[in-house]
Each structure stands twice: as C-alpha cells, then as structure tokens.
Amino acid sequence: MGSGGAGGEVPCTIDEDEDGSPSSVCGGPDCNDEDARAKPSQPSYFDSPMLGRAAPGGAFDFDCSGAEEKDPTDLLTGCTLMNVCSGEGWDEATAVCGTVNGWMKCKTVACEPQPEPTTQLLRCH
C-alpha cells in the first residue's frame, strides 16, 4: 500500500470548451480551453480575439501554432498596372489582427499601395 506506485499515466481528459482537444492544463494540445474556436490545426481565421485567457501565442492564435498568422487570402500581394491600376489588401507588415488598421489599395500615378479606410476587420489564427 502507499509507496508502490500505480504505474501508467493518467490520460488527459480535461476539455472544458468541448472542442475535442484536451486542455494544455493537463498536458493536452488545446492552447485555450475556454474557447472552442481555439484548437490545434484550426483552419479558420477570426476577426475577434479568443474568449477567456489568451493562448501563449496571442489572443488570435486560434490554431495553437504559437504565433498569430494573418489570413493570407486578403493580404496585398502587389499592385498590377495593365490598363488600370488594381490591387488591394492587408499590408503584411502593419496590419493588426482584429482591427481595421493596415488596409492598402493600389493607386496614384505610380500605382503604389496607399492606406485606404475599410470597415472589415483583419482575420487571424
């Protein structure tokens, strides 16, 4: 009795937000067990910060990668000037997750990206 040691590890079963990914509190991979949107390999991007305590990678690290990645589909990849100047999107360097800051649109005679007001929020994960 007592000192023998039961042996074997207790499996991590804590999953408060019921997203199917066990909490990091007990060694599981879920970096935020208070928000079901946050879990490893989350493919979606979100424009509002996670509920509860932020993940170590940030309040927008919904895929638990350890960093906040901006939705690549809306990033400005460059300006094109054929007959008209076109191109707009988030500036990779200055855009801020969950805010309207950093939207750029290609314009001017030189067809270069310039800050442009927007009402949409940058989605990240």
Give the binding site for Ca ion (CB under 5 A). 17, 19, 30, 32, 38-39, 61, 63, 65, 69
Residue number, nearest CB to Ca ion:
65
Closer by beta carbon to Ca ion, 61 or else 71: 61
Nearest approach in angstroms of CB 103 to Ca ion is: 21
- In whole angstroms, how close is the CB of 21 to Ca ion at the nearest point? 6
Which is closer to Ca ion, CB of 17 or CB of 71? 17
Residues in the chain: 125
- The least CB distance from residue 97 to Ca ion, in Å, is 10
Shortest distance, position 87 Cβ to Ca ion, whole Å: 26
Q: What DSSP string describes 2-62?
A: -TT---SPPPP---TT-SSS-BGGGT-SBS-TT-TT--TT----BSSPPSSSPBTTBTT-T
Which of 2/11 has CB closer to Ca ion?
A: 11
Name the residue nearer to Ca ion (CB basis): 32 or 46. 32
Distance, first Cα to last Cα, the chain: 49
For residue 110, the SS3 value is coil
CB burial of residue 124 (10 Å; 0-12, 13-18, 19+) = buried
